[in-house]
Structure 1
Amino acid sequence: MDKIQTTKERILIFLEKNNIKKESFYRETGIAASNFKGVGLKSDLGVDKLAKILKVYPDLNDNLMWLITGEGELENNMVVQKEKDHQSGDLYNSDINDKIGDLLANLFAQYNTQDKSLMFLQSQINKIEKKYSKAISEQNKILNEILLATKLSAE
């Protein structure tokens, strides 16, 4: 077998040896197919994407040295894909719903944090505006006193 040059090419070999459809892989990992085609196939696989793949296919952890360096051989200890394909659609939909729920919860938490930050900043702006107005009033008062004193001394 020719030397595999990239981690992405080794992932494709892993998929093929385990009868995993590429479309299933892309769907389950959330990684775009374009990452594994053409020029994208020759580019490096980011750590975040590798982490996603290892989370979805934990058996690849046993093959980590092979996956990253190409050294050694791919050990085939995956659960037979046919069993995975027979999982109910409800399970898949449930997983998607959980992910969407988690995403929405994270977005809501970020919104709340940003909302609280904006409220805090607005209160700080209001305090600064009050101090500024007070300082301007005091400065105007002092300037008027100086003008009045100057007028009186000029007379």
Structure 2
Amino acid sequence: MPKNINITSPFTAKAGAQSEKYLFDGFCELLTRVLFALEEEEWAQEAGWDIAFRTSVADADAAWKLVALQADELIRVSPLSSSDLLLRRMAGLIKRAVSAATVGAICDIHAKAMECRLQASQALPAAVHDLAFEAEACLEQMFEHAHACEARGIDDSILPLAA
């Protein structure tokens, strides 16, 4: 009687789980950095971008550069599951939004994020759906902030966010 035996290397499964956990944790950190950068941007704007507050402008620029670096790092991780793929795509959209040169481009990126989130499988874990929703909300905030700056005539200093 033939026996079907499947052998799985514990190292492969463990490496896959670590990669998935790394992407999930890294994406959580990315969203935290985006929210921090938006907060720095608002604070610098409220300060009036005055020369006396030059450090606030530098802090906002540095915060966006950290967002771009974190997103770039996540994009390089190979997705092992559909959850990983969704988070990786959302990280890519955040990276594109940070380096967008126009408010219209950020609007298009936000629409793409909404499309990606809505097309994602409903079988994905709720935590992944929540992160995708939060990423979409962050992109919407980025668009609203850039749009408000454009309306006030400060668009030259606001885009791209991570120059």
What TM-score, normalized to structure 1? 0.27
What TM-score, normalized to structure 2? 0.26
- Of structures 1 and 2, the one with the larger relative CO (CA 8 A, separation 6+) is 2
